[in-house]
Amino acid sequence: MITLLAVGDLILDEPDPDRFFDGTRNVLTGADVAIGHVEVPHSTSTAQLSTDVPAPPADPAHVAALSRAGFDVVTLAGNHVFDVGEQGVLDTVRHCRDAGLVVTGAGPDLASARTPAVLTTAGPRVAVLSYNCVGPRESWATSRKAGCAYVRVLTHYELDHASPGGPPETFTFADPASLDAMTADVAAARAHADVVVVAFHKGVGHTPALIAMYERPVAHAAIDAGADVVIAHHAHILRGVEVYRGRPIYHGLGNFVTVTRALNPSGGDSAERAAWARKRVELYGFAPDPAMPAYPFHPESRNTVIASCRFGDDGALLSAGLIPCWIDETGAPQPTDDPRVAGYVEDITRRAGFDTTFDWEEGQIVLPATR
């Protein structure tokens, strides 16, 4: 039997990044496979190539803190991976590998980005795939350009009444060809691995409970193609948990260690980031807590979890659940048995329309339907 753990977004912009994992290191190092998502480039490049809200690159030396914290695999397909261009992508992949991490989701070309991370454990062989569903298209890899693997999501706006200029209804759905490419990757991984994990960078940022129209069909397609677990990140706030065909879908694992001052710009360091800071209140209705300058996120995002799955030696899913955590005043996640975190997970799951049932066993939320 093996234990597989997964967390959401990781941003290591603050000095001495190891300290942010002090509360969770024992949990993560106890896993046979631990997965996290590296949100920003780790590079010394000073380029700014993204048309999205650009994230400054983090110190390359900080990547090693992930290995010391217990991580084995990092997913890289996200909307910020190309913020300092191809060099940033290549640097990030190299620094992660130099730190002993297995990477997936980004690389020097699309074929590399779509190649799964594969780990051979004492039990089953595990494959992890990573895809970006959001953000600027310049982040996408091509056959001759570095970038990330992706699922192309289309947005259609339709007036819901007869007044031009009125509020539209929004429809989102995956481009069929892009969805087919992703499911072909999953099926290929399924043919060579006992356990397949698919990670999506998806969802609407900083908004409690909301699941966009495209998210469930994309996650279901991955499981239909052979995935055992679907995990997601990007929204910087937790999302509900769904069980589909007996397989867990963690629609958003939220933040884990996401410490950065980039979204609280000062001194004219970036006009785009300054504009984003002004617009954030209008779009999402919150301003960061001034007492937490390195954690510029929604107050509800301090509720977070570690996804936890157990597999038999033959790859059969034995159980799935969540380890509740609370992000403390320093920005560090801490495991907790506070029922408010578990209650928050159940509340956002219900608000998303899922009928998932939860139990509490041995300090974890468990999903009985996955047994």
199: phi > 0 → left, psi -120 to 50 → alpha, else beta; which? beta
- The pLDDT, as a whole number, for residue 54 is 65
- The pLDDT, as a whole number, for residue 285 is 76
Single-letter amino acid code for the residue at 27: V
Whole-angstrom distance, CA of residue 337 vs CA of residue 364: 8
- The pLDDT, as a whole number, for residue 269 is 62
- The pLDDT, as a whole number, for residue 50 is 64
Task: Walk along the chain (371 residues) in steps of 10 and give the mean pLDDT of each run.
Answer: 97 97 98 97 82 80 98 97 94 98 98 97 96 93 97 92 81 97 98 97 95 98 98 97 98 97 66 72 79 93 98 96 98 96 97 96 90 81
78-to-164, 189, 241 alpha-carbon distances in Å: 35, 21, 21
Q: How much is the pTM?
A: 0.95
CB 103 within 8 A of CB 36: no
- The pLDDT, as a whole number, for residue 51 is 61
Contacts of 83 (CB under 8 A, 6+ apart): 40, 41, 48, 49, 50, 52, 54, 55, 56, 57
- The pLDDT, as a whole number, for residue 286 is 80
CATH number corresponding to 2-367: 3.60.21.10
Residue 58 DSSP symbol: B
- DSSP secondary structure of 150-170: B--EEEEEEESSSSTTSPEEE
- The pLDDT, as a whole number, for residue 2 is 97
Say how many residues make up the chain.
371
> Where do the DSSP E strands lie in 225-349?
229-234, 241-244, 247-250, 255-259, 303-311, 317-327, 333-335
Whole-angstrom distance, CA of residue 28 vs CA of residue 71: 7
> Would you state the torsion angle of the CA atoms of residues 7, 348, 260, 323, taken in this order, to the nearest 10 degrees?
-30
Angle between helices 176-192 and 215-224 (to 10 degrees): 30
User: Hey, where are the domains in the chain?
Assistant: 2-367
123-140 burial: b if 16+ Cβ within 10 Å, else e: bbebbbbbbbbbbbeebb
CA 92 to chain centre: 17
Beta partners for residue 319, in sequence order: 310
Three-state DSSP state, 214: coil
User: β-strands 364-366, 317-327: how paired?
Assistant: antiparallel
